[in-house]
Amino acid sequence: DAKTTQPPSMDCAEGRAANLPCNHSTISGNEYVYWYRQIHSQGPQYIIHGLKNNETNEMASLIITEDRKSSTLILPHATLRDTAVYYCIVRVARSGGYQKVTFGTGTKLQVIP
Amino acid sequence: EAQVTQNPRYLITVTGKKLTVTCSQNMNHEYMSWYRQDPGLGLRQIYYSMNVEVTDKGDVPEGYKVSRKEKRNFPLILESPSPNQTSLYFCASSSSFRGTGDNEQFFGPGTRLTVL
Protein backbone atom coordinates (compact mmCIF):
# COMPACT_ATOMS: atom_id res chain seq x y z
CA ASP A 1 0.00 0.00 0.00
CA ALA A 2 1.14 3.55 -0.74
CA LYS A 3 2.41 5.62 2.15
CA THR A 4 0.93 8.96 3.07
CA THR A 5 2.41 12.20 4.37
CA GLN A 6 0.50 14.61 6.59
CA PRO A 7 1.52 17.71 8.53
CA PRO A 8 1.94 16.83 12.21
CA SER A 9 -0.35 19.57 13.49
CA MET A 10 -2.77 22.32 12.44
CA ASP A 11 -4.93 24.94 14.14
CA CYS A 12 -8.34 26.11 13.01
CA ALA A 13 -10.68 28.75 14.40
CA GLU A 14 -14.04 27.52 15.55
CA GLY A 15 -16.68 27.98 12.84
CA ARG A 16 -14.14 28.18 10.05
CA ALA A 17 -13.39 25.48 7.52
CA ALA A 18 -10.58 23.11 8.42
CA ASN A 19 -8.57 21.91 5.41
CA LEU A 20 -6.35 18.95 6.15
CA PRO A 21 -3.91 17.95 3.40
CA CYS A 22 -2.53 14.52 2.64
CA ASN A 23 0.13 13.55 0.17
CA HIS A 24 0.02 10.09 -1.39
CA SER A 25 2.26 10.51 -4.40
CA THR A 26 2.84 6.77 -4.88
CA ILE A 27 -0.82 5.83 -4.92
CA SER A 28 -1.80 3.25 -7.49
CA GLY A 29 -4.95 3.00 -9.54
CA ASN A 30 -6.78 0.56 -7.32
CA GLU A 31 -6.10 2.29 -4.02
CA TYR A 32 -8.78 4.22 -2.20
CA VAL A 33 -8.11 7.18 0.08
CA TYR A 34 -9.68 6.89 3.53
CA TRP A 35 -9.83 9.39 6.35
CA TYR A 36 -10.29 8.55 10.01
CA ARG A 37 -10.09 10.59 13.16
CA GLN A 38 -9.21 9.72 16.72
CA ILE A 39 -10.45 11.75 19.66
CA HIS A 40 -8.18 11.43 22.70
CA SER A 41 -7.38 7.72 23.01
CA GLN A 42 -10.67 6.41 21.68
CA GLY A 43 -10.82 4.00 18.77
CA PRO A 44 -10.41 5.76 15.40
CA GLN A 45 -13.63 6.69 13.65
CA TYR A 46 -14.21 6.52 9.91
CA ILE A 47 -14.97 9.85 8.21
CA ILE A 48 -14.98 9.47 4.43
CA HIS A 49 -13.30 7.74 1.52
CA GLY A 50 -12.86 8.19 -2.22
CA LEU A 51 -11.17 6.80 -5.31
CA LYS A 52 -10.86 9.69 -7.76
CA ASN A 53 -14.01 11.78 -7.52
CA ASN A 54 -14.69 14.33 -4.83
CA GLU A 55 -16.93 13.03 -2.09
CA THR A 56 -19.15 14.62 0.52
CA ASN A 57 -21.07 13.23 3.44
CA GLU A 58 -22.63 14.63 6.57
CA MET A 59 -19.26 14.89 8.30
CA ALA A 60 -16.87 16.20 5.68
CA SER A 61 -15.81 16.64 2.07
CA LEU A 62 -12.92 14.93 0.37
CA ILE A 63 -11.15 16.59 -2.54
CA ILE A 64 -8.79 14.38 -4.55
CA THR A 65 -6.51 15.97 -7.13
CA GLU A 66 -6.83 14.86 -10.72
CA ASP A 67 -3.53 12.98 -10.61
CA ARG A 68 -4.62 11.42 -7.27
CA LYS A 69 -1.30 12.22 -5.67
CA SER A 70 -2.83 14.30 -2.92
CA SER A 71 -6.13 14.95 -1.21
CA THR A 72 -7.72 17.38 1.23
CA LEU A 73 -10.24 16.66 3.92
CA ILE A 74 -12.53 19.59 4.56
CA LEU A 75 -14.52 20.06 7.74
CA PRO A 76 -16.78 22.91 6.63
CA HIS A 77 -17.55 24.46 10.01
CA ALA A 78 -15.10 23.20 12.60
CA THR A 79 -16.31 22.89 16.19
CA LEU A 80 -14.40 22.21 19.38
CA ARG A 81 -15.54 18.60 19.15
CA ASP A 82 -13.55 18.25 15.92
CA THR A 83 -10.29 18.56 17.86
CA ALA A 84 -8.67 15.20 17.15
CA VAL A 85 -5.90 13.42 15.28
CA TYR A 86 -6.85 12.89 11.64
CA TYR A 87 -5.40 10.00 9.68
CA CYS A 88 -5.22 9.70 5.93
CA ILE A 89 -4.58 6.19 4.62
CA VAL A 90 -4.62 4.53 1.26
CA ARG A 91 -5.86 1.03 0.97
CA VAL A 92 -5.74 -1.27 -1.97
CA ALA A 93 -9.05 -2.70 -3.08
CA ARG A 94 -8.70 -6.25 -4.25
CA SER A 95 -10.92 -9.26 -4.18
CA GLY A 96 -10.67 -11.17 -0.94
CA GLY A 97 -10.41 -8.08 1.17
CA TYR A 98 -7.88 -5.50 2.16
CA GLN A 99 -4.54 -6.52 3.42
CA LYS A 100 -1.87 -4.64 5.29
CA VAL A 101 -2.89 -1.15 6.38
CA THR A 102 -0.51 1.66 7.32
CA PHE A 103 -1.92 4.50 9.38
CA GLY A 104 1.07 6.72 10.05
CA THR A 105 1.07 9.45 12.69
CA GLY A 106 -1.70 11.69 11.33
CA THR A 107 -2.42 15.42 11.79
CA LYS A 108 -3.36 16.75 15.18
CA LEU A 109 -6.08 19.34 14.57
CA GLN A 110 -6.68 21.85 17.32
CA VAL A 111 -9.89 23.85 16.97
CA ILE A 112 -9.52 27.15 18.78
CA PRO A 113 -12.49 29.02 20.32
CA GLU B 1 -25.92 -2.19 17.95
CA ALA B 2 -23.04 -2.83 15.54
CA GLN B 3 -19.84 -2.87 17.50
CA VAL B 4 -16.38 -4.22 18.12
CA THR B 5 -15.71 -5.19 21.71
CA GLN B 6 -12.38 -5.77 23.42
CA ASN B 7 -11.59 -7.28 26.78
CA PRO B 8 -10.04 -6.38 29.07
CA ARG B 9 -10.02 -2.61 28.67
CA TYR B 10 -7.15 -2.19 31.10
CA LEU B 11 -4.55 -4.72 32.16
CA ILE B 12 -1.42 -4.55 34.25
CA THR B 13 0.73 -7.66 34.17
CA VAL B 14 4.28 -8.82 34.72
CA THR B 15 6.96 -9.88 32.30
CA GLY B 16 6.54 -13.41 31.00
CA LYS B 17 2.99 -14.05 32.13
CA LYS B 18 0.96 -15.17 29.12
CA LEU B 19 -2.12 -13.12 28.35
CA THR B 20 -4.89 -12.92 25.78
CA VAL B 21 -6.82 -9.85 24.70
CA THR B 22 -10.13 -10.79 23.16
CA CYS B 23 -11.82 -9.05 20.25
CA SER B 24 -15.31 -9.74 18.98
CA GLN B 25 -17.47 -8.13 16.30
CA ASN B 26 -21.16 -8.58 15.58
CA MET B 27 -21.22 -7.27 11.99
CA ASN B 28 -20.31 -10.52 10.20
CA HIS B 29 -17.14 -8.89 8.91
CA GLU B 30 -14.56 -10.96 7.09
CA TYR B 31 -11.58 -8.72 7.81
CA MET B 32 -10.20 -8.16 11.32
CA SER B 33 -7.01 -6.54 12.49
CA TRP B 34 -4.96 -5.62 15.54
CA TYR B 35 -3.06 -2.36 15.98
CA ARG B 36 -0.88 -0.94 18.68
CA GLN B 37 -0.51 2.75 19.37
CA ASP B 38 2.50 4.32 21.02
CA PRO B 39 3.29 8.01 21.58
CA GLY B 40 4.83 9.54 18.46
CA LEU B 41 4.47 6.36 16.42
CA GLY B 42 0.82 6.47 15.42
CA LEU B 43 -1.14 3.29 14.77
CA ARG B 44 0.87 0.29 13.68
CA GLN B 45 -0.68 -2.91 12.44
CA ILE B 46 0.27 -6.10 14.27
CA TYR B 47 -1.68 -8.82 12.49
CA TYR B 48 -4.69 -9.02 10.26
CA SER B 49 -7.07 -11.71 9.09
CA MET B 50 -9.01 -11.76 5.87
CA ASN B 51 -11.28 -14.59 6.97
CA VAL B 52 -11.52 -17.65 9.20
CA GLU B 53 -8.19 -19.49 9.39
CA VAL B 54 -6.49 -16.82 7.23
CA THR B 55 -4.08 -14.55 9.08
CA ASP B 56 -0.99 -12.57 8.12
CA LYS B 57 1.61 -10.31 9.65
CA GLY B 58 1.33 -6.57 9.76
CA ASP B 59 4.21 -4.19 10.37
CA VAL B 60 5.03 -5.16 13.98
CA PRO B 61 4.13 -8.85 14.56
CA GLU B 62 7.09 -9.84 16.77
CA GLY B 63 6.04 -11.12 20.17
CA TYR B 64 2.38 -11.59 19.25
CA LYS B 65 0.20 -14.43 18.04
CA VAL B 66 -3.34 -14.44 16.71
CA SER B 67 -5.92 -16.99 15.71
CA ARG B 68 -9.16 -16.81 13.74
CA LYS B 69 -11.19 -19.91 14.45
CA GLU B 70 -14.53 -18.16 14.24
CA LYS B 71 -15.56 -15.24 12.07
CA ARG B 72 -16.59 -13.01 14.94
CA ASN B 73 -13.52 -13.45 17.18
CA PHE B 74 -9.89 -12.49 16.71
CA PRO B 75 -7.89 -12.83 19.95
CA LEU B 76 -4.43 -11.34 20.40
CA ILE B 77 -2.04 -13.53 22.37
CA LEU B 78 1.13 -12.44 24.11
CA GLU B 79 2.93 -15.66 25.03
CA SER B 80 5.67 -13.95 27.04
CA PRO B 81 4.94 -10.25 27.44
CA SER B 82 7.79 -7.82 27.83
CA PRO B 83 7.82 -4.15 28.93
CA ASN B 84 8.23 -2.97 25.32
CA GLN B 85 4.75 -4.34 24.65
CA THR B 86 3.25 -1.79 26.99
CA SER B 87 0.90 0.03 24.67
CA LEU B 88 -2.67 0.90 23.70
CA TYR B 89 -4.14 -1.85 21.53
CA PHE B 90 -7.02 -1.57 19.09
CA CYS B 91 -8.95 -4.24 17.29
CA ALA B 92 -10.80 -3.38 14.08
CA SER B 93 -13.04 -5.11 11.58
CA SER B 94 -14.39 -4.41 8.12
CA SER B 95 -16.27 -6.15 5.38
CA SER B 96 -14.47 -7.48 2.33
CA PHE B 97 -13.96 -5.50 -0.83
CA ARG B 98 -17.14 -5.20 -2.89
CA GLY B 99 -16.00 -2.79 -5.57
CA THR B 100 -17.14 0.45 -4.00
CA GLY B 101 -14.50 0.94 -1.34
CA ASP B 102 -17.22 0.80 1.30
CA ASN B 103 -15.04 -1.20 3.59
CA GLU B 104 -14.28 1.23 6.38
CA GLN B 105 -12.83 -0.26 9.51
CA PHE B 106 -14.78 -0.22 12.74
CA PHE B 107 -12.56 0.06 15.78
CA GLY B 108 -12.95 -1.26 19.28
CA PRO B 109 -12.56 0.98 22.36
CA GLY B 110 -8.97 -0.06 22.99
CA THR B 111 -7.08 -2.06 25.60
CA ARG B 112 -4.43 -0.31 27.64
CA LEU B 113 -1.76 -2.83 28.55
CA THR B 114 1.07 -2.26 30.99
CA VAL B 115 3.81 -4.89 31.33
CA LEU B 116 6.01 -4.45 34.40
pLDDT digits (tens, 9 = 90+) for A6-43: 999 999 999 999 999 999 998 888 888 999 999 999 99
pLDDT at B94 over 80: yes
Are B91 and B74 spatial neighbours (Cβ–Cβ below 8 Å)? Answer: yes
Cβ B97–A95 below 8 Å, yes or no? yes
The nearest alpha carbon in chain A to B109 belongs to A43
The span from the CA of B69 to the CA of B32, in Å, is: 12
Report d(CA A2, CA B99) in Å as an integer. Answer: 19
Give the three-state DSSP class for A3.
coil
- Does the beta-carbon distance from B101 to A87 stay under 8 Å? no
What's the pLDDT tens digit per position in A77-107?
999 999 999 999 988 755 555 577 888 889 9
Cα–Cα distance measured from residue B104 to residue B89, given in angstroms and rounded to the nearest whole number? 18
B107: helix, strand or coil: strand
Count of C-beta atoms within a 10 Å radius of residue A81? 8
- Rounded to whole angstroms, the Cα distance separating B80 from B63 reads 7
Percentage of chain A beyond pLDDT 70 is: 92
Q: What is the pLDDT of residue B60?
A: 95
* B95 band by pLDDT with thresholds 50, 70 and 90: confident
Residues B2-13 have a mean pLDDT of: 96
Residue A1 · residue A34 · CB < 8 Å: no
> In whole angstroms, what is the distance from residue A110 CA to residue B74 CA?
35
Pairwise CB contact (< 8 Å): B43 & A46: no
Give the separation between CA B82 and CA B96, rounded to whole angstroms: 34
Q: Reduced to 3 states, what is the DSSP secondary structure of residue B33?
A: strand
Checking phi first, is residue B80 left (phi over 0); if not, alpha (psi -120 to 50) or beta?
beta
For position A103, what pLDDT does the model report? 84
| Amino acid, res. B20 | T
B8, amino acid identity:
P
Kindly state whether B27 is in contact with chain A, defined as any CB-CB distance less than 8 angstroms: no
Q: Is B19:B75 a contact under the CB 8 Å cutoff?
A: no
Residue A43 touches partner B, C-beta closer than 8 Å: yes
